[in-house]
Amino acid sequence: MPLRKPLQDELNAFHAEICGALADTRRIAILYELAEGPKAVGELVSALDVPQATVSRHLKVLRERQMVTAQRDGAHVIYALADERIIAALDLLREVMRDILSRRAALAQAMTLEAS
First CA to last CA distance, the chain: 57
Q: Are 10 and 54 in contact (CB under 8 A)?
A: no
- Residue 37 as a binder of DNA (CB under 7 A): the answer is no
Closest contact distance (angstroms) between CB of 88 and DNA is: 22
Q: Is the dihedral of CA 8, 9, 14, 16 positive or negative?
A: positive
Q: Residues in the site for its own copies, rule: CB under 8 A?
A: 5, 8-9, 11-20, 22-29, 49, 65-67, 82-83, 85-86, 88-90, 92-97, 99-101, 103-104
Judged by CB, which is closer to DNA: 35, or 41? 41
Closest contact distance (angstroms) between CB of 104 and its own copies is: 8
**Binding residue for DNA (CB under 7 A) from 1, 75, 96, 115?**
75
Measured in residues, the chain has a length of 116
CA atoms in the 13 A half-sphere facing the CB of 105: 6
